[in-house]
Every structure is written in structure tokens, then in C-alpha cells.
Chain A
Amino acid sequence: MVRHACVAKARPESDGSGRANDPNRREGSDDMGTKRMSARRFVRAYGNCYAFVLPFFVLFGIFGVYPMFYSLYLSFVNWTPKKMTFIGLGNFQKLISDPVFWTSIKNTLYLLVINVPLMTFLAVIFAYMFNDSRFKGRRVYQLIYLLPYVTSTVAISIVFIILFDDANGWVNVFLNRVGLPSVKWLRSEGVAMWTYNILTIWQWVGYNMLILLGGLQTIDCTLYEAAYIDGSTRVKNMIYIMIPHLMPVIWFCLIMSTIGTFNSFVPSKVLFSPEGGPGYATYTVTFYQYQQTFQNFRLGYGATIAFAILIFIAVLSIPQVIRAIKDR
């Protein structure tokens, strides 16, 4: 029988009245006690808490919310370094008829379709393996798989340039040794995106594995035990117990991976030469936004692309979020 790591579920303490103890609940108030408090009492009771979280919200407001609304404004202007002109929907009209933008969207969706399901599948497998307490050295393996996630993508891209070099890269040297021809991993239009996928999956599978591992450990192990007693097999347990209970976490990983894929930029910039790969092969939408905003200094158009990215992420993520909520 597989021994799964289980977490004992803690129950809230009770004072016998049927209500959980709330350390912040003040004498004389009921469960709706906060609403009855005077402002002064509220500040006295919760002022410190809000004071501690205030710096985050101030910074978030300045560096998160304000730039977002300012970007929305920029998408309606044409801004070169010395001149800003309001052009209404001009940037959006240009976006719709921009063939390079649609090529970058196509590339990004290609990345999404290949690496998100594959990465999530591998992460589930690894999480399942490392959840087995009999797996010797699983902590070490967890660390090894997590290391790429904590490594700079720029550093990884530079290493990949060496590994996947046409002539002397280790990958091609290995292929030649086993009798296979070299592959132009970085310079062939048809292959460049696969190299991109390999890098992305290798870098992010550990992060997703860690999240799924946490999810696995919340599954009550008595469910597995009961299933085994009834004659279930390991595979059936995976399909009928593990996956359904893990679905909220899987949905979370899928949503985060979708957002991450749309924000993918560094390999396009660093890994391939010319930047963006041969023949637009690895032009992702964020790379194209960077190019327009910072290389061509078309700030208004760059902001428009940013909002297009937001719309695509929303369109792809919202159904996943709805499904995740329903599954819960």
C-alpha cells in the first residue's frame, strides 16, 4: 500500500457555546461584533493590523494600480520622447491590422498549447512520486527540480545557448555520438520553438510540482486506505481519488502557467539570435511589446499591446477560474 504523506486536519477550539474562539472578538459583541464597534474602538482593535498592511497597499497603489490606469491612458495616445498626441482608437486599429502582432499571438498560443499541459502533466507525476514516503532521497529530488525555478531565466538562456549550440553544443555532440544528425536548435524556424518549450518546461515544472505536492498532502489518506480495502488499484486511486481532489490545485497551476506563458519574454530576447528567433519563430507577444515600447519607443502602441495581452489572458483564464470554482 502506498503511504501518502497526510496532514492532520486541525479543528478550531471551542468554548462550548458552539462558536469557535475568536481572539479578536471583544467581550460584549457577538459574531457580528465588528459592525457594532465604534470607530474609535475599531481603530484601537484593528489599527495595528491595518498599519502593518498599509505600506504594501500604498506601494501597490503607486507601482501597480496607477501604472495600470496610466497605461490604459497611454494606449489612446501616440507618445514619442518629446511629444504626446491623443489619437483615440488609432493604436487599437493599428493593432488589429498588424501582421507581426498576430504572428506573436500565434507563437504565444503555440507555446501555451504545448508547454502548459505537458508541464502540468509532468508536475503531477513528479508530485505523486515525491509524495510517496518510501521514495528515498525525495527531498533531494524536490530540491533539484526546484532549482531551475529559482535560477535567473537570463542565466538559464545563456547556458542553453552553450548546450544547444549547432556545432559544439552538448546536445548535438550527444546526438552525433548515438548516430543522429545535429539539429539547429536555435537557428531553425521549425525547431526554435521546441527549444523554447524545453527551456520553459524545464524551468517551471519544479514550481508547479511544489504546488501540486502541497495539494496532494491535503488529501485525506483514509480515502486511499478505504479504496484499497475495497480492492482499488494505484492507478484507479490516482484517477478517481487523487485527480478529482487535486483539481482545484491543477486549475490554479493551469491559470498561473497561462499567465506566465503570455508574459514569457527572456528566451526570445537572450536565447535566440537574431532576437525573436529566425523568421519571427519565437516572437512572443511580450517580446513584441518590449520591442515596440523600448526599442522603437512607441510607448502608446506598447501600452495597447499590453492591454491586448490582458484581454487574451482574461479570455483564456476566466473559463478556467469558473471551472475551478464549480469543481470546488
Chain B
Amino acid sequence: MKRFLVISLALMLVLSVFATAGMSEGKQKVVVWTWYSEQLNPSIVKAFMEKFPQYEVEAVNIPSNELEQKLLAAIAADSGLPDASSIQGDSIQKFIAYGGLMDLTDRITPMVGDYPPYKIANDTGSDGKIYGVPIDCGPCALYYQKEIAAECGIDPAVDFATWDSWVAAGEKYKAKGYALARMTEVGDAGALGMWTQQQGQSLFDEQGNATINTPEFINAATLLKKLWDSGTTGDWAEWTPQYNDAVVGKKVGTLYGAAWYMNVFIHSFDDARDWAIVPLPAFEGSEVRTSNLGGSEMIIPEGAENPEGGWEFIKFYVGSTESANDRLNALGEFPAYRPLYKLPEVESKTAKYFGDQKVFSFFNELLPSVPSYRTPAPFLAIRDNLLAPELPKLMSGELSPEAFAANCQTLAEAIVRDF
């Protein structure tokens, strides 16, 4: 009897391992990997499951910097793949080059006009096929604190017209004890790319060769060095509590950033008030006053167990005004789905940090001007593993902007060869 009980207990324990816990009968599971699933869960996932009761969504939260590593490993192993996943816009070309993403061309073609052309171009492989659907985009602008600007006698139309006048305005901020912007001796590799793109240039040509040693990149490097040498910046690293305190505590007058910085205001600068947004200052001889920084895409890996469920989720998540509006309201995101901005309530929508400025319309109007930019497979390796470590040589004066560009060009060519 005792032996029978022991064997029964052991069998029950073994069988319980194979039980599909929490899965409702008859429903198809859709596994979604994303880095903001806590925000996703309450609104969008619930709404999706109500509209599509045959699906049960499992939203898995993976930090952004780990998600791509896990996804690459899953693609290589052809196992454990999600049915849909977010990835950073800067990385999608790497995934396309490596292989393992599902061709979404036929699925997205009916709605391709609903997204900015430069985002669709970024999600398109060299074979002309589309592998991703844009979630959000990052048209860039200059944010400035209105009270500080008034106190320093800043006229945005004049002082923020060009990058040179913006740097010069730093003296006005400094005289009153404020910082123009933040900058550290390690520089800002993202800003280099943003300024290069603003001038219509890219770190790569159409064939994927490195094109760093260009006049546009040198202009961007010169601006970075000039900003640092002006002594009008605050010594804060980005995404640190000290910088957040400086923004909220009205110590810094301006910051250049993407539309999704409005989301950053919610999460990091929540007590900030009285900010305004204007187009980026222009480079001399150019009228382009925006660029792009960041943005993310949804993809479906080949070998996903439920690609149809994954596609339905993607369509609902990033291809409908309801969920785009949800994300805009809940997350302060700037969704890439353009029909959203035709809605009257979105056209006139404001955000609490920016007074009565219609911020979402503002960024929507900038979108057509964003120059295209190429981010092939070696892009992140060059931005993060080359430009970021090399920048201190520019900032310290060890290399001139021209020598810095030439040096980075040589090193980038080696990286591109490896890829």
C-alpha cells in the first residue's frame, strides 16, 4: 500500500510537469517578446484578446539590450521563437542580413502607405522585401525650458535657428547659471548619427560600404567638439538620476531628442513643467530641421509556431488607430501609424509638460522632412563599439574632427569587412 502511494505520488508529480498551466482550452497561444510588456498588458493585450477570443497572448518582458541577443540565439537554435517581437529600428537590417525573419511584404502592402516612407525603407531588405512593421518613430526636435529661456533672453526663432547660434546662446544660459544642454567627455555617438542624418548623409552607402569620412560627418563631429569646448554644457550622463534631477530642477535649458522623449518625460522627468518643442536648429546652408533617432519595429521570426496569430497581434498593435491612440495616451509614444494623426482629438492633443502646444501634430508635420538613413548589419557595431569608445579622442582634442573621421573610417571598413 505504501509502495502504491509512493508510486502514485511520483507519477502525479511527473505528469504535472507536462500540464499546460494557465492555458485556456481551445485557444491558440501567441507569444510576444517586447521590452514594455508591463505597459502593454493592461490595455492592448486585453483589448486584442477581447477582439480575437481565439488567441491568448503571452507578453514576455525582456529588457531591450537583452532581447536581441535572445532573439539571435533563438533564431540560430530554431527553437523557442516568439510569434512576434519588438526590435530596435537600428537593428532590423542586421536581422534581415543574418536571415531568420519572415517576409511580411504581402501582408503589409495594403497598409504600407500608413507609415513614413523612411521607416518602410529601413525595414526593407536588399531583396526588396519588407520584414518589419514600424511601431514608433523618432523625428527629432529641440526641447527647451520656457522659463529659463525667458530669463536668459532667448529668442527661439533666432537663437535656435542654426546649430552655431544655438551653441552661441549657451553663453546666455551660462551667464545666468544654467547649462545649455548636457554633454560629457565621452561625447554622444547617437547625436553624431542624428546630425549626420540631418544633413542627408549616412554612415553607409547603398552598397553597405562605410562612409564615415564625409563632410557631413565632419560637420557633426565639429559641432560636438564645439559644444564641449564652449563650456556651456552640464556634466551629466544621459539616463542618470543626476540628469533627471537637473531637468526637473531647471538646471538645463535645452535638450535635443526624438519624439519618444515625450515618453521619457513621463518616466524620468515627471515633475518637469513649461517645456516647449521647436524644430532642430539647421546646419549652415541647409533647411532641414529634423532627423531621426531610434524607433522600433515588430517582426515575426521564421519558424514561429503561430505566425498567423503573431501577424494578427501586430496588425492590431501597430496597425489600428485604437491601439495607436492607446499607446499615445498611456505611454506618450509617437506611433508610426500616420492615420492616427488625422483623428481630431489627436490633431489637437497636448501633453502636460508642454503647455498648450499641440505636440503630436508638431512631430507629425516634421515626418515628411526626415532624411532617409541606412543602418545595415554593422551599424550598431560601428555606433556602439567603434564611435562610442573613439569619441573621447575627439572630445579631448587628441584628434581633430577630420582626423577623427578618417580614423573611424579606417576602423569601420574593417568592421564592415567582418560582417
Contacts and interface: CB of A to CB of B under 8 A. Distances in A.
Interface string A4-40: 0000000000000000000000000000000000000
Interface string B139-178: 0000000000000000000000000000000000000000
Given A81-B98, A94-B418, A187-B184, A274 B76 contact: no
B242 A298 contact: no
Contacts of B380: 295
B73 to A, nearest CB: 8
Contacts of A296: 381, 385
B100 A82 contact: yes
B72 A81 contact: yes
Contact of A273 (B76, B237, B392, B418): B237
B72 A274 contact: no
A280 interface: yes
A189 B75 CA distance: 37
A80 interface: yes
Interface residues of A, number: 33
Nearest to A296: B381
Contacts of B385: 100, 291, 295-296
A167 B75 CA distance: 43
A271 to B, nearest CB: 13
Contacts of B114: none
B381 A80 contact: no
Given A80-B98, A82-B100, A297-B72, A167 B242 contact: yes
Nearest to A291: B385
B99 A81 contact: yes
Interface in B381-419: 381, 384-385, 388-393, 411, 414, 418
A283 B237 contact: no
A248 interface: no
Nearest to A91: B418
A258 to B, nearest CB: 26
Interface string A150-167: 000000000000000111
A294 B73 CA distance: 8
Contacts of A81: 72, 75-76, 98-100
Determine which residue in B97, B388, B390 has the highest number of CB atoms from chain A within 10 A of its CB, and name it.
B388
B389 A165 contact: no
Contact of A187 (B185, B388, B418): B185
A315 to B, nearest CB: 26
B20 interface: no
Contacts of B242: 165-168
A61 interface: no
Contacts of B100: 81-82
A279 B392 contact: yes
A82 B75 CA distance: 7
A278 B76 contact: no
Contacts of B99: 80-83
B103 interface: no
Residue with the highest number of chain B CB atoms closer than 10 Å, among A81, A165, A273: A81
A167 B245 CA distance: 12
- Candidate in B69, B76, B242 with the most chain A CB atoms within 10 angstroms: B76
A278 B185 contact: yes
A301 B381 CA distance: 14
B312 interface: no
Contacts of B98: 80-82, 297
B347 interface: no
B58 interface: no
B186 interface: yes
Which of A79, A80, A83, A99 has most chain B Cβ within 10 Å?
Answer: A80
A276 interface: yes
B75 A283 contact: no
A298 B381 CA distance: 11
Interface in A162-192: 165-168, 184, 187-189
Contact of A276 (B381, B389, B393): B389
Interface residues of B, number: 27
Given A81-B99, A83-B99, A188-B185, A274 B388 contact: yes
A173 to B, nearest CB: 13
A187 B384 CA distance: 16
Contacts of B418: 94, 298, 301
A279 B411 contact: no
Interface in B52-95: 69, 72, 75-76
B326 interface: no
Contacts of A279: 186, 389-393
Given A274-B384, A296-B381, A189 B392 contact: yes
A295 B69 contact: yes
A274 B69 CA distance: 18
B305 interface: no
A124 to B, nearest CB: 37
A99 B72 contact: no
Nearest to A293: B69
Contacts of A80: 97-99
Contacts of B389: 100, 274, 276, 278-280, 283
Contacts of B235: 166
B411 A294 contact: no
A297 B385 CA distance: 13
B30 to A, nearest CB: 23
Contact of B69 (A79, A184, A294): A294
Nearest to A79: B76
Contacts of A274: 186, 384, 388-389
Contacts of A297: 69, 72, 76, 98
A66 to B, nearest CB: 16
Contacts of B393: 279
A192 to B, nearest CB: 10
Contacts of A168: 242
Nearest to A168: B242
Interface string B99-117: 1100000000000000000
14 contacts: A80-B97, A80-B99, A81-B76, A100-B389, A167-B242, A189-B392, A274-B186, A274-B384, A274-B389, A278-B185, A278-B392, A279-B392, A295-B384, A297-B76
The 7 nearest A-B residue pairs measured at CB: A279-B392, A82-B99, A81-B76, A81-B75, A280-B389, A278-B186, A274-B388
Given A80-B97, A291-B385, 8 more contacts: A80-B99, A81-B72, A166-B235, A189-B392, A273-B237, A278-B186, A294-B69, A294-B72
